[in-house]
Chains A and B, each alone.
Chain A
Amino acid sequence: MRFLKFSPVFHVLLPIASGIFLLYAFRNKVGTAEDIGLGKDTYRYYPYAGKYPIHLKSPRQLSQFTIGWKQRGEDSVYLWLGNSQLHGINQYSPGQVNAVEALQQQLQPYNTEVMGASYPNANMQELLVSALYFVPLLKVKALIVPVFFDDMREDNIRQALQLPGVAAAVKERRIYVDSIQNIAAKFLQETGEKDDAVAAYTTGSSPQAVTERWLNRTLRDNWQIWKKRPDYRGAAFNFLYLCRNQLLGIHAGTVRHVIPGVYRQNYMAISALLQFCRDQNIPLVIYIPPIRNDIPLPYNSNDYSKFKNDIERDCRAEGARFINLENLLPPGVWGSKSATRLNGKDMEEIDFMHFRAQGHQLLADTMFKILQAVR
């Protein structure tokens, strides 16, 4: 008892050792945050043309795309934004491609390229931010944007896209007050700085920032656990998410409703995007994305109908091309995923969002035809 009461071994060293041991014990069980979100049945596919990406997972990759794009002759570009539907291939086998690469192959004879950029659960504010960033830096021939009902419920602008100027402008719908070029320049600079996980207080030149930056870099380079910290954090949040689903009985088919405040924010972003493309004279293709429809939709039907009608109406008013692709894909190209519950690893549930490679090919074919009409 005396040992337990006073020993620093028991009160300090052992807890530190046990804490680190716990992290080592779990190190092979944590995947990347997005893999956890997508599930084991869906593969993240970001195609390349040679060494250079044509589908970006972060705006920071733009410089890599640009090198390849310049080498290929700086053709005009169809910019295709989206969420994980665009880069996720359900039941993937090697050799299969996603819609972006399939479209790129079809566009080759026309001296035109496609560049994809997609982020998991990307909401409309994030897609607007991306458009504001990419358009001034590329020769954009048309902009392709899916509008997901699910993502109208998402409201954060993630850190990789987060910067005071653009984010605040989007929030306040002030996008025309600052010049787009200025915003883009600031965006490039600040996103670059903020990409590091220990951003805000490790940037700058104060002794604190310099030391912290060096220590974090050293730890990341020399300690596997430190390097994997974002994945541990992802796993921790995923665990909470699974607990929530388990406790409240939430599953893929649970009906989603509109969240008025969030919907309003995202709708403002759609309106800003419509105005932006009109003012910049860039053809805009907005589509309602494919969804599995052989079973009841996980959406409140009134909310979903209103959502589609609103977007169609505003697209027409602003001269954008609106296409409803919700019935594009047959049931056979859809897949399943592990249930998002605590004991869901061995249970399967329907995946409403991600489809197989055949679905990507169909989507690319359809988009090719639409773009021909736009041109």
Chain B
Amino acid sequence: MIFNSVTFLLYLPVVVILYWLLPQKTRLWMLAVMSLLFYAFWKPQYTLLLLFAAVLDYYIAIAIHRQQDKRRRRRLLIISLVLNLGILFYFKYLVFFTENLGDVLSVLGMQLQLPHLEILLPVGISFYTFETISYTVDVYRRHLEPERNFISYLNFLVYFPHLIAGPVLRASHILPQYKKRLPFRWQFINDGFSMLVYGLFLKVVLADNIAPIADHGFAMPTNAVSALDVWTLAFLFGFQIYFDFAAYSYIAIGCARMMGIHFHDNFNFPYMAVSPKAFWKRWHISLSTWIRDYLYLPLAGKKVELQKPQAISEVQHETNAKGYLALLATWAIMGFWHGANWTFIVWGVYHALLVAGYRVLGHNKAGGSRIKKITGWCISLPLLMLGWIPFRSENVTVMAAYFKKLCIPQQYLWLGLRENNYLIAAVLLLLVIAAYLFHTYIKPYLSGTIWGYWLKYVALSAAVALVIVFLRPVSQFIYFQF
């Protein structure tokens, strides 16, 4: 089921009402069944795959916990990793590998008739695979006791708000919340509703209306766009993906909030980051912390401690070759996680180079003067936006053509898009800045005052009207495909 649909807007109140009415044990059953139903609305058959992943790690985690022998514990962990990553590989990467293998063999002069594969990617597989892996690894590291109640564990994995596109949850944060029955408070509904409407507004009013403009620009032949167009398209897609993905996170957090369940924030004005390092403390925070704990630290050979709510960029980094290699490998894998295409790997490496460059230049200390921050933002924002070019490009050839344009001065002397596109990109940038300034400097003063309540009421009313007008499941969330 997709959030931006009428179906979901009918489904949600039913689940929330049942959740608060039912006794503890029954409500967990109801939540699990309704979450599976939510998933089955897309392709019912793939629900079995999801259940398989859940059952597998539920039992393996218990077995790991019981086992005292280190080698056997490790063996069990490897079985879990191989099965989970094997399923992910089959559905997400097999076609990519087959195609590339074919290309490599033909370069070597060998003609091998490889089968043409058409495999439909189950939605959310990248997310729930990461979650189940983190659970098993945490149990292996003895950071977490395995969950004995299967329904609780199942809810950790399949809980519908985060099931398809995150935030990437940690068992240690969620499982205790299922056990503790909070008393009903209207505050939960109020807060959750605001986040839901805000998320829907970002998705159906902003992201869905920027999408055709960005899509159209990227569909144009590369010889029909100039360097300024490439910059504009990078900004347009940057805003589209931000609104789209942040929308999903806000809706997810809002839905969970209505049931008194707390998810950590996943976005915090990422485009106001003053450095590439700061960007990853503000963008897809749940994934960046996951990557830190389960990929970067092991690769860098560092001891993994119990999770702290900090991003990969906050870890004390090794500034030796091993540290940089770990950084590069981590980001390449993170890129590849987003999609089976070389363009995503380039995107990951691009960000690794930005972070490494920032580290080399010695600007990894927090703080600094306001002028330094503004300068940092002015430099970082275009670089970060440019990162969306490989992410959005159809293939490496197109991506290279875009980057080549950026290096040719003559390509800055003409414009290939409609004037409105430049205007829209500029207006969106101003809107994001204005929203940040309002959030940082004005909202704290209004909070708790009668003006604050009325302003919120007016904004919510307008947002509800716009959501009704623009709500169309014309496009899924971008992160559904990852």
Contact = CB atoms under 8 A, between A and B. Distances in A.
A212 B7 contact: yes
B414 A260 contact: yes
Interface stretch (A15-23, A304-312, A319-327, A352-360): A15-23
A59 B225 CA distance: 31
Interface stretch (A134-142, A228-236, A328-336, A339-347): A228-236
A233 B204 CA distance: 12
A216 B6 contact: yes
Contact of A19 (B416, B423, B468): B468
A201 B415 contact: no
A40 interface: no
Contacts of A206: 41-43
A201 B480 CA distance: 13
Interface in A5-20: 5-8, 10-12, 14-16, 18-20
A255 interface: no
Contact of B476 (A15, A19, A156, A201): A201
A244 B219 CA distance: 26
Contact of A264 (B224, B456, B470): B224
Contacts of A208: 1-2, 5, 7, 41-42, 473
A212 B190 contact: no
Interface in A219-239: 219, 225-226, 229, 232-233, 236
A1 B187 CA distance: 14
Contacts of B44: 207
B229 A198 contact: no
Given A11-B194, A14-B457, A200 B475 contact: yes
A171 interface: yes
Given A15-B457, A208-B5, A156 B474 contact: no
B473 A259 contact: no
A370 interface: no
A197 B475 CA distance: 12
A36 interface: no
Nearest to B474: A200
Interface string B436-462: 000000000000101001001100111
B28 to A, nearest CB: 24
Contacts of A1: 450
B465 A23 contact: yes
Contact of A18 (B220, B450, B453, B464): B464
Interface residues of B, number: 57
Given A156-B216, A201-B2, A261-B229, A211 B415 contact: no
A260 B467 CA distance: 36
- A interface SS class: helix
B190 A232 contact: no
Interface in B212-264: 212, 216, 219-221, 223-226, 229
Contacts of A225: 468
B464 A229 contact: no
A294 B423 CA distance: 32
B365 interface: no
B408 to A, nearest CB: 15
B102 to A, nearest CB: 23
Interface in A146-163: 153-156
Interface residues of A, number: 50
Given A12-B189, A200-B474, A211 B464 contact: no
A49 interface: no
B224 to A, nearest CB: 4
B186 A7 contact: yes
B40 to A, nearest CB: 7
B193 interface: yes
Nearest to B205: A236
* Dominant SS among interface residues on chain B: helix
B469 A233 contact: yes
B61 interface: no
Q: Which of B416, B417, B476 has the most CB of A within 10 A?
A: B416
B112 interface: no
Given A5-B453, A10-B457, A261-B220, A219 B6 contact: yes
Interface string A247-269: 00000000000011110110000
B224 A265 contact: yes
A206 B120 CA distance: 14
Contact of A155 (B193, B216, B226): B216
Contacts of A211: 7, 41
Interface in B172-219: 186-187, 189-190, 193-194, 197, 212, 216, 219
Contacts of B226: 260-261
A312 B420 CA distance: 30
B322 interface: no
Contact of A11 (B1, B193, B465, B469): B193
B429 to A, nearest CB: 16
Contacts of B212: 156
B419 interface: yes
A183 B6 CA distance: 33
B274 interface: no
B361 interface: no
Contact of A261 (B190, B225, B420, B474): B225
B418 A12 contact: no
Query: Could you say which of A12, A15, A156, A233 has the most chain B C-beta atoms within 10 Å of its C-beta?
Result: A15
Contacts of A155: 216, 220, 418
A6 B41 contact: no
Nearest to A206: B42
Interface in A177-219: 197-202, 206-208, 211-212, 215-216, 219
B420 to A, nearest CB: 8
A295 interface: no
A31 B296 CA distance: 57
A4 interface: yes
Nearest to A197: B472
B10 interface: yes
B76 interface: no
A329 B310 CA distance: 71
A219 B194 CA distance: 24
B463 interface: yes
Contacts of B193: 11-12
A242 B9 CA distance: 33
A294 B29 CA distance: 77
A16 B463 CA distance: 9
Contacts of B462: 19, 22
A351 B466 CA distance: 32
Contact of B474 (A15, A198, A260): A198
Contacts of B417: 259, 261-262
A103 B469 CA distance: 41
Given A8-B186, A208-B7, A229 B469 contact: yes
Nearest to B458: A18
A212 B7 CA distance: 6
A8 B189 contact: yes
Contacts of B474: 197-201
A233 B470 contact: yes
Given A16-B464, A199-B474, A212-B473, 14 more contacts: A4-B453, A5-B448, A10-B453, A14-B461, A15-B463, A19-B463, A20-B465, A20-B468, A23-B465, A154-B418, A198-B473, A201-B2, A225-B468, A262-B224
Q: Which 4 A-B pairs have the closest CB atoms?
A: A261-B416, A19-B464, A18-B461, A15-B460
27 contacts: A6-B187, A10-B457, A11-B189, A11-B190, A12-B189, A14-B461, A18-B464, A18-B465, A19-B464, A23-B469, A156-B212, A171-B220, A199-B474, A200-B474, A201-B473, A201-B475, A207-B44, A211-B7, A212-B6, A212-B473, A215-B10, A229-B469, A259-B419, A260-B224, A260-B415, A261-B415, A262-B418
